């Protein structure tokens, strides 16, 4: 019989009551603790009981397991309450979550199909990563405008950390004061409209060189995809480095490989805690090798620019190249802000990866869509030849007169946004469309799904440039049903740079050549299958036969 007198067992009963009180309070205060912390807390409470002789050991363990069970149940209930506030989503498998839902199909299409079942704000568990998918203009507006600051961050990825100097570039840098200063430099100095205009001669020269090469192959099949990609890299190299440099031929293949590495799915990014995966996959070593080689080339080029900077003014026929512009900020500016050498290198890589891949992909899609629809192609050619026929060549400053061709570019970007999935990260717990988005959740805006939503677009799967002829919808991120370059603070800073390249290239291809498919292929048989990457390319290269229209 248990003696409850104060002299023999009172302290034990008193400690049990204290323990009960502590458990009650602890359940409120520590409902977020993990299992190890729960067990430790429980053991500490049991040790406080100080069992006396005659107090059965079995009873002590009984209290221990009761406490552990109560805390475990409360923890699960709390987790369940948090989960219930998340947006809906498909069922999840243990460990991998919803990764299986994205296997075997293009991610932007898989996510669109899932959103049609689970709603425009959908939760997925991708391994260890909690992700929310946005698939409507209304929710995109909340994320990229109403709560833009809270979603202005980007999640760090293994490739971005290694290739872009620990994510010190404009694309992947965490949101903060340094990012805002760097963004300001890009908007006002590096990629401003005036800076883009200053590179007009480079664009026209390189495009004229391509026209001559195509003319020499007139009547024979050419790989237009390769031609346009090579042109894009050359233009970016000249605008960034200035005159053609000896290391350019080594650098461009490395950038192409970096783009390929950035394009693929990396298991390390959905299981970041399993660092041993880096070793098994070998991905980290490959990325570090590419980074080391690119860094050596960039260091040489930047050092040469630094030595010659004193005699370059940017006046006359030789504009400052982009490295010259960046080097102006290597020392403190009037606000005390400066760019480090690694910042400069990281931004240069941004320009190469973004400025080459996306513009070339857009030109390739536009030509493919027109080849599939000969009437649209003929109308575009007639417009270009009417506007520039008297001049005998395409002049960039007159491109705004090409209303129909501009609509073709807009329609191409609607159906084929260069980056169909726009990544953000939630910086603080936030409520969107009745649902709670926890801190550090990855938010992915599906621009592809929004651009093909029948709620906003008539016959959304059809390529119909006329829809933009009388429309005021533009690329600038104010119309959330059309966000090929994103919106808000993280909108693509190189939009003007890319569009200038796309417009001139398309106009000159349409002006100088008639085009047909090889081997008697019918226009309607042209394969438009996509291939997912840093930008969504056509799976197959575009092979066409050019016929010179006229060349002066």
Q: How far apart are CA 290 and CA 273, in angstroms?
A: 24
Q: CA 82 to CA 449: how far, in whole Å?
A: 28
Tell me which residue has tokens 């394969």: 527
CB 284 within 8 A of CB 306: no
Beta strands in 209-340 (DSSP E): 222-223
3-state secondary structure of 335: coil
For residue 31, give the DSSP letter. Answer: T
**CA torsion angle 473 477 479 484 (round to 10):** 70
d(C-alpha 266, C-alpha 158), whole Å: 8
CA torsion 471→474→477→478, rounded to 10°? -40
Q: Is 430 annotated as a binding residue?
A: no
Asked if residues 435 and 86 have their Cβ atoms less than 8 Å apart, the reply is: yes
DSSP strand E in 498-549: where?
Answer: 513-516, 530-531, 537-538, 543-548
Enter the tokens of residue 371: 């080849």
- Beta strands (DSSP E) in 157-310 are 222-223
User: Tokens in use for 406?
Assistant: 């501009």
Can you tell me the distance from the alpha carbon of 154 to that of 426, in angstroms, rounded to the nearest whole number? 9
**Which residues contribute to the annotated binding site for heme?**
492
């Amino acid at each position: 019989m248990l003696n409850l007198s104060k002299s023999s067992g009172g302290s034990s009963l008193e400690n049990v009551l204290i323990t009960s009180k502590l458990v009650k309070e602890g359940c409120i205060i520590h409902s977020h603790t993990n299992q190890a912390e729960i067990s430790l807390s429980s053991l500490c409470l049991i040790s406080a009981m100080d069992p006396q002789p005659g107090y059965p050991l079995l009873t002590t363990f009984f209290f221990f397991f009761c406490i552990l069970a109560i805390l475990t149940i409360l923890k699960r209930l709390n987790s369940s309450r948090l989960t219930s506030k998340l947006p809906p989503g498909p069922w999840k498998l243990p460990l991998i979550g919803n990764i299986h839902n994205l296997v075997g199909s293009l991610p932007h299409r898989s996510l669109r199909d899932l959103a049609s079942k689970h709603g425009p704000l959908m939760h997925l568990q991708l391994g260890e990563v909690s992700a929310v998918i946005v698939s409507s203009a209304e929710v995109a507006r909340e994320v990229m405008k109403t709560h833009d600051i809270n979603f202005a961050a980007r999640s760090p990825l293994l490739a971005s950390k290694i290739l872009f100097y620990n994510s010190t570039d404009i694309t992947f840098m965490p949101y903060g004061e340094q990012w805002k200063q760097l963004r300001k430099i890009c908007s006002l100095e590096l990629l401003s409209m005036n800076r883009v205009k200053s590179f007009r001669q480079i664009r026209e020269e390189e495009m004229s060189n391509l026209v001559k090469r195509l003319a020499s192959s007139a009547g024979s099949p050419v790989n237009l995809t390769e031609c346009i990609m090579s042109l894009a890299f050359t233009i970016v190299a000249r605008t960034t480095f200035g005159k053609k440099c000896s290391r350019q031929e080594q650098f461009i293949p490395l950038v192409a490989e970096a783009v390929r590495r950035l394009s693929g799915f990396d298991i390390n990014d959905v299981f970041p805690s399993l660092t041993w995966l880096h070793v098994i996959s070998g991905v980290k070593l490959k990325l570090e090798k590419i980074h080391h080689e690119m860094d050596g080339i960039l260091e040489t080029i930047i050092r040469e620019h630094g030595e010659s900077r004193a005699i370059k003014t940017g006046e006359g026929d030789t504009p400052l190249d982009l490295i010259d512009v960046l080097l102006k900020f290597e020392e403190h500016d009037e606000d005390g802000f400066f760019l480090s050498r690694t910042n400069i290198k990281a931004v240069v890589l941004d320009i190469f990866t973004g400025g080459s891949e996306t513009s070339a992909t857009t030109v390739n899609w536009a030509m493919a869509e027109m080849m599939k629809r000969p009437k649209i192609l003929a109308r575009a050619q007639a417009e270009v030849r009417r506007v520039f026929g008297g001049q005998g060549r395409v002049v960039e400053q007159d491109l705004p007169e090409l209303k129909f061709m501009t609509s073709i570019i807009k329609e191409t970007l609607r159906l084929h946004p260069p980056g169909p999935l726009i990544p953000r990260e939630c910086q603080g717990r936030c409520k969107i469309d009745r649902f709670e988005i926890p801190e550090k959740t990855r938010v992915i805006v599906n621009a592809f799904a929004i651009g093909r939503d029948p709620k906003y677009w008539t016959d959304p799967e059809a390529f119909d440039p006329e829809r933009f002829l009388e429309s005021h919808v533009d690329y600038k991120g104010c119309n959330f049903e059309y966000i090929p370059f994103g919106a808000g603070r993280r909108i693509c800073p190189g939009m003007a740079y890319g569009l200038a390249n796309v417009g001139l290239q398309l106009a000159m291809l349409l002006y100088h050549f008639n085009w047909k498919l090889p081997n008697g292929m019918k226009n309607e048989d042209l394969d438009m299958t996509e291939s997912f990457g840093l930008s969504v390319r056509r799976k197959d290269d575009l092979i066409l036969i050019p016929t010179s229209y006229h060349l002066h």
